[in-house]
Amino acid sequence: MNTTKFLDAKGLACPMPIVRTKKAMKELEVGDILEIHATDKGSVADLTAWAASGNHKVVDQQQESDVFKFWIQKG
C-alpha cells in the first residue's frame, strides 16, 4: 500500500497516539494515507473512532506481535 506519511507512535500511551495522528493528518491532503504503528492497546478503539468522527477511512488495520498498524485515508 502506498502511504504518504508514516507515524511511529510505539511506546506512547493514550492520548498521545491520537494527538500525534491529528497533527500528522493536518499535513496531508485529502486522499493521502497515513500509516501509524502503535503499541497502546487502547489505540485500536481510539484511532478507529477518531477516524470515523473526522470523516477519515481506516483502509487497513493489522497486528504484528505487540504492534498495532493502521492505514488511515484522509477524508
Any idea which residues carry the catalytic annotation?
Answer: 14
Residue 9: how many CB atoms within 10 A of its CB?
23
Helix, strand or coil for residue 35? Answer: strand
Pure H helices in 1-75: 16-26, 43-53
CA 46 – CA 43 distance, rounded (Å): 5
